[in-house]
Each structure stands twice: as C-alpha cells, then as structure tokens.
Amino acid sequence: MIAGFFKRLTEGASGALADDDARLALTALLVRIARADGDYDQAEATQIDKVNLQRYGLSPFEAAALRKEAEIVEQDAPDTVRFTRVIKDAVPHDDRIGVIEALWQVVMADGVREAEEDAVVRLAANLLGINDRDSALARQRVSSK
C-alpha cells in the first residue's frame, strides 16, 4: 500500500490523486512537522489525530490508523515537496490556509515552538502558495485558541 502511494507520487499521475492519498499526504506532512525538532511526543500525535477527526470526520480509531500509516510514509519519504504537491493539487487555494493552521496546531501541541518546526512550516506554506503574512496570521489564530 505504501509502495503504491510513493509510486503514484513519483509517477506524477495525471489529475489529482484520490482523496485517501491526499489525506495520507497531509497526515504525513503533519508527522514531518511533529518530528522536525527530534521530539515526536504524545501531545503532537494526539493533535494530529484531532486534526484528522475534525478535517475528515474520522472515528478516533480511523484517525489513529491514518496517523500510524503516515508515520511510516513520512519516515520513508525523501522530501517535503511531494507531500505539498499532492495537497496543493487536492485542496483549493482558499482552503489551504486551513492546512497551515493544522500545521501550526501540531507545532504548538507540545507547548514549545522550535526553529526546525518553523522552518518546515515556512517551506510547506511557500510550496502551498501561502505567503509568510498569512501563515503568521494562521499561527496567531491557533495560538489564541
């Protein structure tokens, strides 16, 4: 299954990937953000599950299963660009700010904002066509909750 996912990503299949692939790509990107500082803890894993519960209407079991699959995908993935390309193709521009908010939710889940996490969010935002100002506003909205 994971090999098939990478094959679809690298082949540049015509058209957008299936919704399941887009979900997996976003979740893998969330895992990448959580692991960026070298300390992937339970608070971050729980926040990833919450994002998937809210965004996709999954059950807690389904959200945890998606995260576990994404952890394997993220570990084997060569770069962040492929994840963001899938997300960019699957999510309309106006809705991508929600993706950035989800990234910031994971960054702030453990109560510590690390430079490595900031760098991955900034890269992802840029690749998704979201400017620094809008990303900062998304971060502020997440911080105020």
8 located within any domain? no
42 located within any domain? yes
82 located within any domain? yes
What is the value of pTM for the model shown?
A: 0.84
CATH number at residue 38: 1.10.3680.10
Q: Is 1 helix (H, G, I), strand (E, B) or coil?
A: coil
**Considering its fold, how many domains does the chain have in total?**
1
- Find the mean pLDDT for residues 37-61: 95
13 located within any domain? no
- The pLDDT assigned to 20 comes to 81
Contact 69, 24 (CB under 8 A): yes
| % residues pLDDT > 90 (the chain) | 63
12 located within any domain? no
Q: What is the pLDDT of residues 111-131, one digit of tens each?
A: 888 999 999 999 999 999 999
pLDDT at 10 over 70: no
1 located within any domain? no
User: What is d(CA 98, CA 100) in angstroms, rounded to the nearest whole number?
Assistant: 5
What letters, b where the CB count within 10 A reaches 16 and e where it falls short, cover 98-134? Answer: ebbbbbbbbbbbbeeeeeebbebbeebbebbebeeee
35 located within any domain? yes
Q: What is the pLDDT of residues 51-79, one digit of tens each?
A: 999 999 999 999 999 999 999 989 887 78
10 located within any domain? no
Structural domain containing residue 44: 18-144
